[in-house]
Amino acid sequence: MSKHGIRIEHLSKRYGSGDTAVDALKDVNMNVAPGEVVGLIGPSGSGKSTLLKSLGAVITPTSGKMTLGEQTIFEQDWKVSDLRALRRDKIGFIFQSPYLIPFLDVVDNVALLPMLAGVSNSEARARALELLTALDVHHRAQAFPSQLSGGEQQRVAIARGLINRPPVILADEPTAPLDSERAMAVIRILNDMAKKFETAIIVVTHDEKIIPTFKRIYHIRDGVTTEEVGEGRLPD
C-alpha cells in the first residue's frame, strides 16, 4: 500500500471505566491508499460509529495510532493541536443525510469550508463551482438545499466533502436514502473523485447494492476489524 492515505493501527476505544467499562473498539487496523475507495461494513453496535467518530477526530480513542499521509495524527493522544483545522482541512465528511446548511445556497454550502479557512469569498466560490461542475450540479448553484432532489443534495454534500481536497473522506451511509440507480451514480462519483483528487475514501455502509463495488472491504464486529477482498465491480 502507498504510504499516503490513512493508516490505522491497533486502535481501541473504551467508554467509561472499571466494571462498567465498555470496549467499543478493541483492535482496529485499516489502511486506505489515496485514490482508493474501501467499504466498512458492520452491524449495529459493532463499533462502526465509534470508529467513524475517531477517524473524524471528534472523539479521542483510548490507544492505537492513526497516520494521515506522512503525519501521525494520533498515538496515545492527538498529535495535532487544532482538531478543528484538522477536520476542516484534512478530512471530508459525507453523511447519510446530506446535512447541508439550509440557509445557504448550494455554492455557499460548498464554499463555506474554504471560507472558514480564510480563503476569499470569490475564490472559494470559484472552487466550489468548479467542483459542482465536475459533479454536474452546477446548474443548481443558486438553489437552496430544500429545492434539490436527494441525489442532487448528496452530490452537493460530496462536493462539500471534497472542496478542501482532503487526503481522507469519511462517507457515512452516503447512498442510504437513494434508489439503486442514484446510489450507483454516487459510488461512481466517489470512485472518480478518489482517483481525481488522490483521496482515500472510506464508505461506511450496509447497502447490499453497493457492496460489490468495493475492491476491498473492512468488516467490523465487536470492535475488531477484518479485511476482505471485494468484487470491485464498478458500474459502467
Partner 1 sequence: MINFKPHKKAVALTIVIVPLLILLGYVVINSGPLAPVKVVTTEVQTKSLQPGLFGIGTVEARYTYTLGHAYAARVKALFVDVGDEVNAGDVLVKLEPIDLEQRLNAKLAAVKAANASIAEAEAKLDFAEAQAERFAQLYKTEAVSADDLAAKQQAAAIARAALVRVQDERDRNEADYQALVVQRQELDLLAPADGIVIARNAEVGSTVPSGQTILELIDPASIWVNVRFDQISAAGLRKGLPATIILRSQQNVQLDGQVARVELKADAITEETLAKVVFAQTPEPLPRIGELTEVHVSLTELEPTLVIPNAAIHRVNAELGVWRVRNGDLQFVPITLGRADLNGDVQVLKGLQDGDAIVLFSERELSARSSIHIVESLVERSE
Partner 2 sequence: MISLAGRDILHSWGKFIFTGIGLGLLIGVTFVMAGVYRGMVDDGKALLDNSGADLWVVQQNTLGPYAESSSLNDDLYRTISAMPGVAEVANVTYLTMQVRKEERDVRAMVVGIVPGDRFAAPGWPPYLVAGRYLTRGHYEAVADVATGFVIGDTVRIRRKDFTIVGLTRRMVSSSGDPMIFIPLKDAQEAQFLKDNDATWQSRRRTEANPAFNQPGSSAITQAVIDSQTTNSFVNAILVRLDAHVSQDEMAQRISRWKRLTVYTRAEMEEILLGKLIATSARQISMFLVILAIVSAAIIAFIIYTLTMDKIREIAVLKLIGTRNRTIAAMIMQQALVLGIIGFVIGKITAAFAAPLFPKHVLLLTQDAFIGLFLVLVISALSSVIAIRMALKVDPAEAIGG
Q: Are 43 and 221 in contact (CB under 8 A)?
A: yes
Q: Which listed range, 14-22, 62-70, 119-127, 226-234, lies at the site for partner 1 (CB under 8 A)?
A: 119-127
The residue within the footprint of partner 2, chosen from 89, 130, 192, 198 (CB under 8 A), is: 89
Q: Are 201 and 6 in contact (CB under 8 A)?
A: no
- Regarding 182 and contact with partner 2 (CB under 8 A), the answer is no
Residue 75 phi, psi (nearest 5): -150, 100
Residue 103 contact, options partner 2, partner 1, none, Cβ 5-8 Å cut-off depending on partner type:
partner 2
Question: CB-based burial of residue 3 (10 Å sphere; 0-12 exposed, 13-18 middle, 19+ buried)?
Answer: exposed
Provide the terminal-to-terminal Cα distance of the chain, rounded to the nearest Å.
Answer: 26
- Regarding 56 and contact with partner 2 (CB under 8 A), the answer is yes
Closest separation in Å from C-beta 94 to partner 2: 11
Buried residues in 50-77 as b, exposed as e (16+ CB within 10 A): bbbbbbbbeeebbebbbbbbeeebbeee
Q: Given its phi and psi angles, is residue 45 left (phi above 0), alpha (psi -120 to 50 degrees) or beta?
A: left
Residue 207 phi, psi (nearest 5): -80, 110
DSSP state string for 199-210: -EEEEE---TTT
Closest separation in Å from C-beta 104 to partner 2: 6
- Regarding 142 and contact with partner 1 (CB under 8 A), the answer is yes
Q: Are 191 and 184 in contact (CB under 8 A)?
A: no
Nearer to partner 2, 2 or 49 (CB): 49
Residue 193 phi, psi (nearest 5): -65, -40
- Regarding 129 and contact with partner 1 (CB under 8 A), the answer is yes
Closest separation in Å from C-beta 112 to partner 1: 16
Closest separation in Å from C-beta 139 to partner 1: 12
Nearer to partner 1, 104 or 224 (CB): 104
- Regarding 146 and contact with partner 1 (CB under 8 A), the answer is no
- Regarding 125 and contact with partner 1 (CB under 8 A), the answer is yes
Q: Are 163 and 91 in contact (CB under 8 A)?
A: no
Is residue 227 helix, strand or coil? strand
- Regarding 52 and contact with partner 2 (CB under 8 A), the answer is yes
Closest separation in Å from C-beta 129 to partner 2: 15
- Regarding 126 and contact with partner 1 (CB under 8 A), the answer is yes
The residue within the footprint of partner 2, chosen from 49, 62, 126, 138 (CB under 8 A), is: 49
Number of residues that bind partner 1 (CB under 8 A): 5
- Regarding 59 and contact with partner 2 (CB under 8 A), the answer is yes
Q: Which listed range, 20-28, 88-96, 125-133, 216-224, lies at the site for partner 1 (CB under 8 A)?
A: 125-133
